[in-house]
Structure 1
């Protein structure tokens, strides 16, 4: 294990070095830190702690891209603790932070380190070789339930080395009754939560009563997924992936995009310590090295738009002094038709997602088994469809006042603005994407789908609609989750086209066409009708939104504005091409 990890602790008191050049600090202990797999324990002795880096940088919020505000030197092991001498620099920023530390305003420290060698003892990971690489001043420690950082009840203390440690301070959590109780509560809660999502309440109770671990129950849930029929509903697939070991966006309820943007706009800010720690943990878990600030998401919604406090309809309506936030009416955007069609989704995917699919099924035969015929073998022909991250990006401009002065409802506003434009482009490319370069391959350009045409210059007839549906039935696609997707102009045409002359019965009526739902979107070509079994369309996302800011644009700098770039990793695909067909106008 070589990932970068962090531990947090509170500055209770600091002891000045004899020469007045710095402060002695306890940087880490053998206190057990909760992680997603159980507790993590760092062994402290001369052979387990790699002190090859005898001097560590002192930074803010683990932001090693910015210049450090000091150093930590003279590292040494004293009584199962790692201690070091903290010296602040002479820069204006370093002096400001030092004064806040002395005043008790900044009280949280965090050490970054790598585990080089380890083994498990039950659910506990014991690090027998590890290396520190930086120490950070942070404002808000991360939630322990998300496996990032520590809460105030479980943080290590930066103690005065002349004080007597509290009883049991050096002991592991096993000797701390309150820690044992909390660990058991966490185990019961996690098992119950997974069981509820997976419909495994009985099994969850058995695991709780038998004292088995959360990891063991997660493994059972994943095994059940493998045993399920391939026709399982999209919801059941998604629920297992949300319950697996790893990152769950619901574990980051306090993450503020607005606060993160404030810190990115002004690197001197320490108000986003929690957000930077979450981003660092996501970076570690996902193996990212692109330097973006990563935001945990369930799903964000892309189009270029600007928001300004002074302009209603462009962000101005969210400022408390102008209008009540709960009465804010969002700008009109193209609705995400694709997401509303009960497609199959895989959230928070890791690596490359590979789904098997059957090209042909085994054949059945009639046989005389009275020692006459032998049963002929026939195997199903299988292949697979793979999904890998493709970057969908947006750029928007936020005003300084919007970021700094808006009410808490502006948090949802900023998220929504980034989300809506992503959803719009996703709809368009899911239908029309050509797969060239970095683009996804949409339905109309997927090899193997059905395709028929209506007369050039004309409009679809009732016979065309019936023939379009026959494209699916001849491929043995069962109707159930089927629906049409059309442009508003095509919908208008079909609403005024009779099934047969002079009948007064129209092809499209009350949102239905021949018994199937009709979804309308401007992201479909105006002359095209798409019909399909939408559960066969798969959307995979990789669970994070990457943010960057540029406050130094030629015009933005003078106005105090900041450009925000959002990047979402996703991919789409069709499991069974025969489940979709298009009706298009013939070329003249």
Structure 2
């Protein structure tokens, strides 16, 4: 029997005993006859229950402290178990709450074995960032009673997994290459900086040899994290919709951080992103020709292939949509006629491209986004802290999630951009 069931049974006996004693006191007498007999029975049952409660509490504590067995069997056992891991159960396990967390502990042990690192809390697979349906509300501090503003997502097929990280990152939406499930230390990505070239020759003439210059780009493990807060009642929920809320909260936070590093980066402990590596052009006086010049700079580098598109700051979108291609002639159209297209290529807007300088100016990036590689290592380290000062006062649980990831460009020449688009 579960510890919670034993405690409930003891509480019921206590209430029954209190009722018998209260009845006797109201009558101005001591318990007698059948009343006293039942009180003696309750005392005996409670003493036996106390022993069972102590033993069950000891076993539960041993289970919490036990090292789970890694899932090493073949046949896809680990993948099946990992797909069933609950983010909320992992949080509850880390917070020391009561529950059956066997699957979460076993998967964590296997992830630790594969990655060669010991987690501070409990490791969960990156699958926990996948939302199993698209119906729910999105809140930053999430409680079981709801509250806060949110957006409603249209209903989708419940059997289809929606990769939340991909859907929330514009870099992957534009076509960035994502490498999931990386293990160990740095991962080298081959890159051909100088390829072979063909030439025309006369009869019996020799071809001029051309060596291929093959280099490598390296993904190095870096840590990206998020800190959020859940109510205790929320963590104890078993509804799939509530599980999806928790997953969405984590995936949104990590997506914003990864997108910012991929688009810009270069800050303390951050990867070096696109804007950190390229030499920006100019759109200080936005014109159709300047936009085409950015496209041309990628084309003349023979890098206009793969997934071509634009990442644009909202400030730059407003300016380009309000600027005519031909000065003073609205009939000729605007530089950016559509919010999702610029110069014939897909465009996506993101505040991950920051405003620059004073007065602040917007940024744009054009390029082959398949040349941007986002790498994610196996496992997300979840650590719950029910004693953090502010959440503790509200009965909430503070949860930290740490993910190991990196971004790298295979070819800097695949991108061009500007950081001086004036505000409209």
TM, length-normalised to structure 2:
0.71
CA distance in 1, matches of 2:171, 2:113: 32
SS in 2 for 1:508: coil
**Which residue in the other structure is 2:417 paired with?**
582
Partner of 1:393: 225
1-structure distance, mates of 2:301, 2:224: 33
Residue 247 of structure 1 deviates from its aligned partner by 6.6
Q: Distance in 1 between matches of 2:78 and 2:198?
A: 45
CA distance in 2, matches of 1:343, 1:477: 15
CA displacement 1:469-521 (0-9 Å, x = unmatched): 01111101234521111112211211121111315211112322221111111
Task: Provide closer, same or farther for how the CA distance between residues 336 and 575 of structure 1 changes in structure 2, counting only shifts above 3 A.
Answer: same
CA distance in 2, matches of 1:357, 1:450: 20
CA contact (8 A) 1:307 1:314 kept: no
Determine the structure 1 residue equivalent to 2:250.
418
Distance 1:486 1:135, change over 3 A: closer
Q: What whole-Å deviation, never above 9, does each CA across 1:183-227 have from its counterpart, x for those lacking one?
A: 9xx5xxx7xxxxxxxxxxxxxxxxxxxxxxxxxxxxxxxxxxxxx
8 Å CA contact 1:335, 1:521 repeated in 2: no
The Cα shift of 1:92 comes to 9.0
Per-residue CA distance 1:129-188 (angstroms, 9 max, x = gap): xxxxx977x8xx99xxx646xxxxxxxxxxxxxxxxxxxxxxxxxxxxxxxxxx9xx5xx
- Asked whether 1:564 is paired with 2:399, we answer yes
The equivalent residue for 2:334 is 506
Structural mapping, 1:38-57, within 5 Å = none
Paired position in structure 2 for 1:432: 264
Whether the 8 Å contact between 2:384 and 2:399 is mirrored in structure 1 is: yes
1:287-436 matched pairs, under 5 angstroms? 287-298=116-127, 300=129, 305-310=140-145, 312-313=147-148, 335-351=168-184, 352-370=186-204, 373-405=205-237, 407-434=239-266, 436=267
The C-alpha deviation readout for 1:228-277, integer Å capped at 9, x for no partner, is: xxxxxxxxxxxxxxxxxx975x652221111122222226x351122111
**Partner SS, residue 540 of structure 1:** strand
* 1:252 paired residue among 72, 78, 82: 82
**CA separation of 1:99 and 1:283: change in aligned 2, threshold 3 A:** closer
Q: Residue 282 in 1 paired to residue 111 in 2? A: yes
| 2:303 aligned with 1:481 | no
Aligned match of 2:380? 545
Q: Counterpart of 1:262?
A: 92
Contact 1:538 1:573 in 2 (8 A): yes
SS in 2 for 1:528: strand
Alpha-carbon separation, structure 2, partners of 1:314 and 1:565: 23
| Counterpart Cα distance in 1 of 2:90 and 2:354 | 38
Per-residue deviation, 1:369:
4.5
What does residue 443 of structure 1 align with? Answer: 274
Shift of 1:96: 1.9
- The within-5 A match list for 1:125-136 is none
1:570 Cα deviation from its structure 2 partner: 0.8
| Matched residue SS, 1:364 | coil
In the TM superposition, 1:149-168 aligns within 5 A as none
1:381 Cα deviation after fit:
1.2
Task: State the TM-score, normalized to the length of structure 1.
Answer: 0.52
Q: Residue by residue, what CA displacement relative to the aligned partner does 1:535-587 show, whole Å, maximum 9, x if unpaired?
A: 11111111311100111122333332111000111111111111100123289
3-state SS of 2:334 partner: coil
Higher relative contact order (CA 8 A, sep 6+): 2
C-alpha distance in structure 2 between counterparts of 1:577 and 1:509, whole Å: 28
Change (3 A) 1:572 1:247: farther
Separation (CA, whole Å) in 2 of partners of 1:421 and 1:556: 19
- Name the stretch that deviates more: 360-369 or 549-558: 360-369
Alignment coverage as a number of residue pairs: 340
8 A Cα contact 1:299 1:543, kept in partner? no
Mark the CA change 1:503 to 1:555 in structure 2 (over 3 Å): closer, same or farther: closer
CA distance in 2, matches of 1:581, 1:304: 36
Q: Structure 2 vs 1, CA of residues 251 and 581 (structure 1 numbering), >3 Å: closer, same or farther? A: farther
**Unaligned 5+ runs, structure 1:** 1-89, 101-105, 111-133, 149-182, 191-245, 318-333
Alignment of 1:448-487 (within 5 A): 449=278, 451-455=280-284, 459-479=285-305, 481-487=307-313
Quick one: distance in 2 between partners of 1:305 and 1:404? 18
How big is the shift at 1:392?
Answer: 0.7
Which structure dedicates a bigger proportion of its chain to helix? Answer: 2
CA 1:304/1:380 → structure 2, altered by over 3 Å: closer, same or farther?
A: farther
| Counterpart position of 1:127 | none
> How many angstroms does 1:534 deviate by?
0.8
Report SS of the residue matched to 2:281: strand
Residues 99-138 of structure 1, C-alpha deviation per residue, up to 9 Å, x if partnerless? 89xxxxx9xx99xxxxxxxxxxxxxxxxxxxxxxx977x8
Report the Cα offset of residue 304 of structure 1.
11
Flag the 1:258–1:550 CA change in 2: closer, same or farther, 3 A.
Answer: same
Aligned positions of 1:88-107 closer than 5 A:
95-96=55-56
